[in-house]
Amino acid sequence: MALPTYASPLEKVWHWTYIGICVAIFVFLIAPIIVVIPLSFNAEPYFTFTDKMLSFDPDGYSMRWYDSLLTFGMVRSEAPRDASWWADAWANAKWISAAKNSLIIGFFSTIVATVLGTLAALGLSRPEMPFRRLIMAVLISPMIVPIIITATGMFFFYSSTCVDSTTTLGRMLAPVLSNSGCLANTYLGVVLAHATLGIPFVIITVTATLIGFDQSLNRAAASLGANPRTTFFKVTMPLILPGVISGALFAFVTSFDEVVAVLFIAGPDQQTIPRQMWNGIREQISPAILAVATLLVIFSIALLTTVELLRRRGERLRGLTPA
């Protein structure tokens, strides 16, 4: 972006204006995320900087909203903080149970999306794959179709997909289905929905990794006597692993951030963090939401760093950029 030596004065002015515009846009991108962090330490229940905060008075800051994340929903939040208090928080605090739900649902939906998505990406990357374009379009569509439409369809499907609980199949599936034997209001239902939404991300990242993949490596392994399984685990897998992991992270984030499907198909037992935030924003908005937001921002910084490191490692492994 260096200015050439032959630039006229007008061009110099424009160049610096342009830099200024870019800085302003970067501020627009980042400022909203940054502003949330100090405000979450606000001692007052306001969504703006108080005078005390601006003068860096320690009284203006507090951890009360983080504390309220723990105590909200507890039975005896005022009791001394001994082991039984923590047990109460672990069992009853709403944000903690939301976090547990988010992690459980995120974990299982990521596993489903990653395993099925990686297999499919391997198939889709083979030149002999029939109907490649059409199948790819179908598999990517959960990302393109508006989430409200997907959630509406899933609501109809889940409330009509029921198994009679008196049959053998019904008894076998009883632990994962709701009392009425349906998929609605169950963990299984939310996991399946989130896996579907995460699949396009796995497909995209893994097929992108496979574009640079040298198929002759597989043939070399086969010619040296490795069976297809050994070839996959010893040759293919280590090379595409960075792509698989970043796909899995995308799928996890998709599930971890998803609220519309949860609103439509989950029951009161499957309240996730976004669902709890949705309640908080729509009903009793308090800076506690900002405390959650801050924790989530830290979480996304960690994820972004991981994905970025993986991407670089993947490119180095596949020899796309010199180390």
Q: How many residues line the site for another protein (CB under 8 A)?
A: 92
Contact call for residues 83 and 209 (beta carbons, < 8 A): no
Judged by CB under 8 A, the chain residues 74 through 133 that form the site for another protein are 112, 116-117, 119-120, 122-124, 126, 128-130, 133
Distance set, CA 254 to CA 24, 80, 102, 172, 298 (Å): 29, 38, 11, 30, 17
Judged by CB under 8 A, the chain residues 293 through 322 that form the site for another protein are 293, 296-297, 300-301, 303-304, 307-308, 311
Give the number of other CB atoms < 10 A from CB of residue 40: 21
Of 62-70, 71-79, 84-92, 286-294, the window that binds another protein (rule: CB under 8 A) is 286-294
Residue 323 in contact with another protein, rule: CB under 8 A? no
CB of 117 to another protein, least distance (A): 6
Judged by CB under 8 A, the chain residues 30 through 49 that form the site for another protein are 30-33, 35-36, 39, 46-49
Nearer to another protein, 213 or 278 (CB): 278
Distance set, CA 319 to CA 51, 133, 209, 241 (Å): 55, 28, 12, 15
Contact call for residues 209 and 243 (beta carbons, < 8 A): yes
Residue 245 in contact with another protein, rule: CB under 8 A? no
Alpha carbons 274 and 71: distance in angstroms, whole number: 18
Give the number of other CB atoms < 10 A from CB of residue 153: 12
Give the number of other CB atoms < 10 A from CB of residue 308: 11
Nearer to another protein, 122 or 241 (CB): 122
Judged by CB under 8 A, the chain residues 130 through 159 that form the site for another protein are 130, 133, 135-142, 144-150, 152-158
CB of 80 to another protein, least distance (A): 33
CB of 204 to another protein, least distance (A): 6
Give the number of other CB atoms < 10 A from CB of residue 114: 24
